[in-house]
Chains A and B, each alone.
Chain A
Amino acid sequence: MRTALRIAALVAILAALIVAPQYLRNYGIYLLSLWSLFAIAAMGLNLTLGYAGQMSLAQAAFLGIGAYAVALLVKAGVPFWVGVPLATLVAFAVGLLLGFPALRVQHHYLAFATLGFNVLVYLAIRNEDWLTGGSMGIGQVMGFAGMPRPSIFGYSLRRGIDFYYLCLAMLCLSTLLVWLLLRSPWGRAFAALRDNPVRAESLAIDIRAYTLLAFAIGAGLAGFAGAFYAPLVQLFDPSPFGLLESLSLLLMVVVGGSGRFWGPHIGAALVLLLPHWLQALLPAWLGPPDQWYLFVFGIAVLVLLTWCPGGLLAIPDRLRARAQ
Chain B
Amino acid sequence: MAPETSGAAVRLDGIVAGYGQITILNGLSFTAPAAKITTLIGANGAGKSTVFKTIFGIVRPRAGSVTIGGEAVTGFPARELLARGIVYVPQGRNLFPTLSVRHNLELGGITLGSRALIAQRMEAVFARFPRIAERAEQQASALSGGEQKQLEIGRALLLEPKVVLIDEPSIGLAPKVVADVFALLRGLADTGVTTLMVEQNVRSALAVSDHAVALEGGRVAIEGPAGEMLANPRIKSLFLGGHMEQTG
Which of A14-22, A30-38, A191-199, A235-243 lies at the interface?
Answer: A191-199
- Residues in chain A near residue B99, CB distance under 8 A: 188, 191-192, 195
A259 interface hit (Cβ, 8 Å):
yes
User: In whole angstroms, how far apart are the Cα atoms of A195 and B58 in the complex?
Assistant: 19
Does A291 interact with chain B (Cβ within 8 Å)?
no
CB-nearest residue of chain B to A193: B96
Of A188, A200, A202, which is within 8 A of B106 by CB?
A188
Provide the A180-195 mask, 1 if CB < 8 A to any CB of B, else 0.
0000111011011011
Contact of B97 among A189, A195, A198 (CB under 8 A): A195
Q: Could you tell me if A202 and B78 are in contact, using CB atoms closer than 8 angstroms?
A: yes
Determine if A203 is an interface residue (Cβ-Cβ < 8 Å).
yes
Smallest beta-carbon distance A3→chain B, Å: 12
Interface residues in B55-113 (C-beta closer than 8 Å to A) = 56, 58, 77-79, 82, 88, 90, 93-99, 103, 106-111
Residues of B with C-beta under 8 A to A191: 96, 98-99, 103
Q: Mark B1-43, 1 if CB is under 8 A from A, else 0.
A: 0000000000000000000000000000000000000000000
Chain A interface: which size bin?
20 to 34
B76 to chain A, nearest CB (A): 11
- Asked whether A203 lies within 8 Å of B78 as measured between CB atoms, the reply is yes
Indicate if the CB atoms of A202 and B90 lie closer than 8 Å.
yes
Closest CB in chain B relative to A185 CB, distance in Å: 5
CB of A203 within 8 A of CB of B115, answer no
Q: Complex formed: what's the CA distance from A259 to B97 in Å? A: 14
- Residue of B with least CB distance to A206: B79
A residues within 8 A CB of B97?
A: 195-196
Check: A128 CB closer than 8 A to any chain B CB.
no
Q: What are the residues of chain A within 8 A of B58 when measuring CB–CB?
A: 201-202
- Interfacial residues of chain A within 65-119, with CB under 8 A of chain B in the complex: none
Query: What's the least CB distance linking B123 to chain A, in Å?
Result: 15
The verdict on A205 contacting chain B, using a C-beta distance below 8 Å, is yes
Please give the distance in Å from A88's CB to the nearest CB on chain B.
27
- B103 to chain A: closest CB distance in Å? 5
A199 touches B96 (CB 8 A): yes
Give the docked Cα–Cα distance between A191 and B97 (Å): 10
Bound Cα distance from A198 to B92, whole angstroms: 12
B189 at the interface (CB under 8 A from A): no
A200 contacts across to B, CB distance below 8 A: 96, 107
Min Cβ gap A182→B in Å is 10
Contact A201 B78 (CB under 8 A): yes
If A191-B96, A202-B58 touch, does A185 touch B90 (CB 8 Å cutoff)?
no
Q: Is B215 an interface residue (CB 8 A)?
A: no
Q: Beyond A199-B94, A199-B96, A203-B110, is A188–B103 a contact (Cβ under 8 Å)?
A: yes
Contact among A184, A192, A199, A259 with B90 in the assembled complex (CB-CB below 8 Å): A199
Task: Jot down 23 A-B pairs with beta carbons below 8 A, ordered by A.
Answer: A185-B103, A185-B107, A188-B99, A188-B103, A188-B106, A191-B103, A192-B99, A195-B98, A196-B97, A198-B90, A199-B90, A199-B94, A199-B95, A199-B96, A200-B96, A201-B78, A202-B58, A202-B88, A203-B78, A203-B111, A204-B111, A205-B110, A259-B98
Write the residues of chain B forming the contact surface with A, with a CB cutoff of 8 angstroms: 56, 58, 77-79, 82, 88, 90, 93-99, 103, 106-111, 115, 118, 155
Closest 9 interchain pairs by CB? A195-B96, A204-B79, A204-B78, A185-B106, A204-B82, A204-B111, A192-B96, A188-B103, A199-B94
